[in-house]
Each structure stands twice: as C-alpha cells, then as structure tokens.
Structure 1
Amino acid sequence: MSAVVLDADGNEVEPQRVVPRRVRLPRAALDRLAELSGVPSPAAQMVSSSGSLDGLGDRLGGAGTAPSQEPADPAAPVAPEQTDDLLVAAGLLDGDTPTEEGGAVLTVWHSPVLAVELEMLVTLARGRVRVRSWHRNLDDWVVCLSTADGATFELSWLAAEDWWLELGRAAWVDTRTLSAAPDVEPLPDVVETSWDLLLATGEAVQRRRFELLDQMVSDYTGMTLAGPDTGSLETADDADVRRWHEQLESSARGRLHAAVMGRSERGRAGAGIVEWVLFHDGWRSLTPFRRDGWNMVRIERREPTDLPRALAVLAAEVTS
C-alpha cells in the first residue's frame, strides 16, 4: 500500500521524488547557499564542532606517530559570483534563489528526525587524515555532508532506502595505504576482555612501561575469552592476552566514532554510539557490556557493510 500525500486543501499531490546527487563544493559555496536561505551554514556547524574522538578511541592506534595532514584554509576568499556559479551547476541555486532541491537539502539538514555523525581518524603512509561525515534524515530524504579539511566538502542527497550504501561507503578504507605496523599475528575474530585492563595496558604501552604488562594481565587471569565467534569463546592464556592488548595499542591504524541521534514517538531525545578500530586486516568493533558484575568490552571483527546494520539497530532504539 502506497502512502497518499495531501496538500493544505486536502488534495492529493505527487510526493517529491528524491533524485540522488553528489557534488563537491568549497565551504564558501555552502555558506552562500545558507546565507541566501536565511539559515545557519551546515559547513560552519561541522567545522566548529569539537569532535568526538576522545577517551579510549583517541588513544588506540598510536595516532601521534605520523604527521598530521595539513588542513586547507577554510576562510580562503572566493568571489560571490564563483560560488553562485558552482551552486547553479549543482542545481541548488537559480539566480539569487535556492531551487526547490536546494531548499529541500537545507530543510532536511536543519529539521531531521534522525541524525548520524561519523568521524574517522586514519594513519596513512602519507600522514594522518581525519574525516567527518554527517548525515541527516527527514521522511524519504537523506542529506550527507563530508569533509577532510574543513575547506572542501562533498554534499550528497539520496532516498532513505539507499542510505545504507552511503553509510557503508563511509567506513571503507584501502588498508594498503595505511602506515606500517608491527608484523604480528592477527587478533582472534572475537575477544572479550576487561575494560579496566584494556585501559591500563593501553596506558602502559603509551608510556613504554612494558614491564608492567605481565602483572596487569595476571591480575585479570581467566577473564579474557577469545574465539572465532561469540558462541565459541574459550578462556585465553595470559601470554596471548598480553600480546593482544599490546597489539591494540601499537598496531591499530585508525578509529571510527559514530553517533546516532533521534527522538522517540514520545519526543524523548536519544543517542547511541558505535566505536570501531582499524587494523591492517580490517575493522574491529568495541562494544562494552557487563559480565558477572565486571565492566567488559567485546572486540569483534567487522566489515564496512556491518556499519549500516549496527547503526540501524541504534536508530531503532533511539526512535522507539
């Protein structure tokens, strides 16, 4: 059964179809479109955000070992006529007036029912790259805005039914371009370990206090489980636990933080978080849980296509 859309007079109207587009624009063009529409600039919101890669996720992967990518100047002057030409070519502006499509993009951005904000930090052979990709959903529309330097943005809009493709794309990294890491055995597909132990061993490796690792691990003997899947976990030896914890701090080459925000049918605000860590053999998710009164974390192998599924679960939770 198809939904019927009515106008203010009760007449049936054809719902606006989302024609997917993807365009690259300088920040000045996005600022200009927002100015002509009388709303805050989406680009300015992203650039001014303090970011969310902190705490444990900020430490994993030795992000400070490679030089940071120098950001471009987001305030570089661009002539108004140049920005207008870019917006016209993108189908967002007609003269000095935003097109119907341009207006819809900004409406979705500023009035979403569901928002997903992804931030990814990856250490490549050429340096460290930080990418933000913010997604907004309203009815059948999804608007996505991404940037790696705060100066050049990729703006896209698409139908909600195709959103999962864009979310999976956001998590794809060519692991061949990552910076070198110690040549060690891969982690098991699933590792469940103490959250406190993960924090403590990570701090010890950061400070190069490797002599503390054996004692730390022995304090939690028998608590770490590992295996090919969650249904086949076995207690790990302390020697393996020590090696895995050292790997988590020294061998990871990226991290992804995704926040899902929405409102339930009762109007209550809700949020959910996804944290992933990147190694040369792919992504691992970090999922906190409780076991026998202990704070634990499950470290599990993931594929980019698993991200839309994880975010969909959180979206259902925050909007239910």
Structure 2
Amino acid sequence: MTRVSIRLDGTPAPSPGLLARVPRRVRLSRQAVEALADRTGTPLPWSASATAEPSRTERSLGPQVPTPRGGDAATSDPDPQPDAATSDPDPQPGDGTDPEAELREARLLTADGQPHPEVAGALAVFGAPEALVDVDLSVRRNQAASGFAQVRSWQRLRAGRVTTMATAGGAVELGWFDDDLWQVDLARTVTVTRPRTTARAPEQVLDLPHELLLGSGEALRLHRGDVLAELVARHAGSVFADDGDLPLGLAGTDEQVRLLNTSALGRLRTVVSGLGPTGARKVGWVSWLLFPDGWRALTPYSSGGVARVRIHPVEPLRLGVDVAALVTGVRA
C-alpha cells in the first residue's frame, strides 16, 4: 500500500523512511508545543491564553450518568473541528524553561532552528486531518485537590499516520505513529488504576430505557425521591440484567439504577468527527463508565421505537475498535 504524507499547504511531503515509522513520544511544556505550532502554522486544540476550566465530564462526576451517544450525525458545518466540550484546554503553563532550548534538547529542531522534518510532518497531520478523535477521561482520585484526575488526548489521522497531543494538566505529550498502532495507543490512554472502594458495582450487563438512565441520574442529583420512584415504576417491566429474559421488577430496578449512579469511579467520552464525501461534518461518540470491577460501555439502540441503552463490560483495547468504526462512518 502506498501512503502519501500531506503538508499543511496541501502538497505531498516526502514519504517517511522505516525509521520515521517508529512510534515517537516526547513530553514538552505547553510553551514548547505552542512554539512548534507557531513555526509550522499548526492550529492547536486549546487557546494559548486559556486557563484550566472544569470540563463537562468533570462537572458530571457526581451521581448523574452522562448521556450515551453513538453512531454519527451529519451537520452542514464543512469544517470538522472538535466538539467544544472536549476541546476546552487544560495543559498548564510550563516552569519558565526557554521553549527553544527545550526543543533543541529534545532534538526536535535542526541546526538552523527549524522543526525537524519528521516533526514538521507529524504536525502537518495534526493541522490538516481527515478525522479528529478527542478523548476526555476523568477518574476519581481522593488525593487530587479536585477529587479526580483528568486526561485529555487529541488525536488526528491523515494518510495512514496519527499525531497525538495529550495532557493530564501539566506537560503535553506529543506523539506520532502509523495508524496500525492506533488501537494500542488508545488502549494506553484508558488503562487506569481503579480507585480503592467498598462500593458495589451494578450487574455486569444492564439493558434499560434511555429515559430511565438519564432521568434517574437527574432525580438522584436533585434528591427527588418521588421522581425516581415514578420513573422506576414506569420502567420496571423493561429493565433486564445479564441478558436475561425476565425483567428485574421494582426492587431490582431501583437497586440497579442507584448503583449505576453512585458507584461510578470514572467516565470516558470520546468524540470522533470528520468530513463526509458531501463536505458535511459528521460526528460520533463513545461513552464508557468506570466501575469497581472495570469499564462498561454505554451502547444506545432502539427497540420498538423506544430508545434504550445496553451497559456492558469492555476492555481498553475495545476503544480502538469502536473508534475505527466511527472513523469509517464519519468519512463515508
């Protein structure tokens, strides 16, 4: 298979050799990354003057369960920019290190101070991608001042190459590699140490109406026991566990929706976007929840005209499979 790298101006760049295909990762201060971006004209997913603000994922780390969304949706926007909720910045300013000295020490500049061709090629992919993937991950951490740790990773695909920028609020990790290693990199992002807890996880597999999933979270957040009771009574006959044929009933449904909303230890939201052949922007989502026994995916579907969600266990490598399917969808 022949691959062609594209510069920011749209012209073909020299094909990378074997050494250039080795996956690369380098940790840099935000200022150093911004200096590289300035020299190559690469747009960054954060504002150079921005300060850290809680993301939608952070703010939802209470009892409320996030909306599960999947598939793709087309809009008339011809520019495939990332969703605002996942492109809010949080890499923090560096420690005062001179950006150029830092870049030279990392051997990312040539002798005349220009970005190394390999680095320039990686940033060209980031600046003019065919598909954009933004990962927003939050996990409870009692030792953190905010009560949770957050990782954001912005990943861009073009012509078989992937360039990533990731941060946990301090340094930025810049990486680039062939797309056949993308699944491993995504799995690395969501491989986390689960917080110690005595909380009990919900059933391994739950299938329930979308209205109940969202409404129960809001009712618990607002301490509206009456609303929760009404929702449970309305949907108790249509909630199933472990792919069983018998509904859980009132008591079982009440127990499981409470566990869903109170025992989550972390959340993952991955947004995939790109341009279809008509020039319309398409977007797809992957939503996961972290429980004491591991990750669960929230997979939406429709049955008999009713929106439903299947919540089921997944391993980190599964994220690459889901992202690949969405990348194909947004480019179709």
**Shorter-chain TM-score: what band?**
0.7 to 0.9
Percent of aligned pairs sharing the same letter: 30
Deviation at 1:89, TM superposition (A): 3.2
State the Cα deviation string for residues 49-95 of structure 1 (Å, max 9, x = none). 988635996555699xxxxxxx998345625xx32232123332124
What SS does structure 1 have at the residue aligned with 2:118?
helix
- Name the counterpart of 1:106: 123
What SS does structure 2 have at the residue aligned with 1:167?
helix
CA contact (8 A) 1:135 1:144 kept: yes
**Residue identity in the other structure for 2:175:** S
Deviation at 1:148, TM superposition (A): 1.4
What SS does structure 2 have at the residue aligned with 1:202?
helix
Matches within 5 A, 1:123-162: 123-126=140-143, 127-149=147-169, 151-162=170-181
Do the aligned partners of residues 206 and 43 (structure 1) sit closer, same or farther apart at CA in structure 2, a change above 3 Å counting? closer
CA contact (8 A) 2:94 2:171 kept: no
Deviation at 1:265, TM superposition (A): 3.5
CA contact (8 A) 1:125 1:180 kept: no
- Name the counterpart of 2:299: 287
Of residues 255, 269, 279, the one that matches 1:267 is: 279
TM-score (norm 2): 0.79
Deviation at 1:318, TM superposition (A): 1.1
CA contact (8 A) 2:5 2:121 kept: no
- Name the counterpart of 1:224: 239
Gaps of 5+ in 2: 7-12, 67-88
Of residues 81, 84, 92, the one that matches 1:74 is: 92
- Structure 2 distance, partners of 1:297, 1:221, is 15
- Structure 1 distance, partners of 2:308, 2:256, is 15
Larger Rg: 1
- Name the counterpart of 1:16: 16
Alignment of 1:297 with 2:315, yes or no, is no
Do the aligned partners of residues 144 and 45 (structure 1) sit closer, same or farther apart at CA in structure 2, a change above 3 Å counting? farther
Tell me which moved more, 49-58 or 160-169: 49-58
- Structure 2 distance, partners of 1:45, 1:234, is 55
- Structure 1 vs Structure 2 CA RMSD: 3.2
CA contact (8 A) 1:31 1:43 kept: no
CA contact (8 A) 1:168 1:304 kept: yes
How many correspondences in the alignment?
297
State the Cα deviation string for residues 146-205 of structure 1 (Å, max 9, x = none). 1111x4111111111111100111111111xx15353x3x32232111111122221222
- The structure whose residues are more often strand, as a share, is 1
Matches within 5 A, 1:234-253: 234-253=246-265
Of residues 210, 218, 222, the one that matches 1:203 is: 218
State the Cα deviation string for residues 231-264 of structure 1 (Å, max 9, x = none). x554222211111100111110110000111223
Matches within 5 A, 1:162-181: 162-175=181-194, 178=195, 180-181=197-198
- Structure 2 distance, partners of 1:160, 1:219, is 46
Of residues 33, 40, 46, the one that matches 2:36 is: 33
- Name the counterpart of 2:83: none
What SS does structure 1 have at the residue aligned with 2:307?
strand
- Per chain length, whose mean CA-contact separation is higher, i.e. which structure has more relative contact order (CA < 8 Å, sep 6+)? 2
TM-score (norm 1): 0.82
Moved over 6 A (4+): 4-7, 48-52
- Structure 1 distance, partners of 2:274, 2:54, is 19
Gaps of 5+ in 1: 8-12, 64-70
CA contact (8 A) 1:52 1:257 kept: no
**Residue identity in the other structure for 2:15:** P
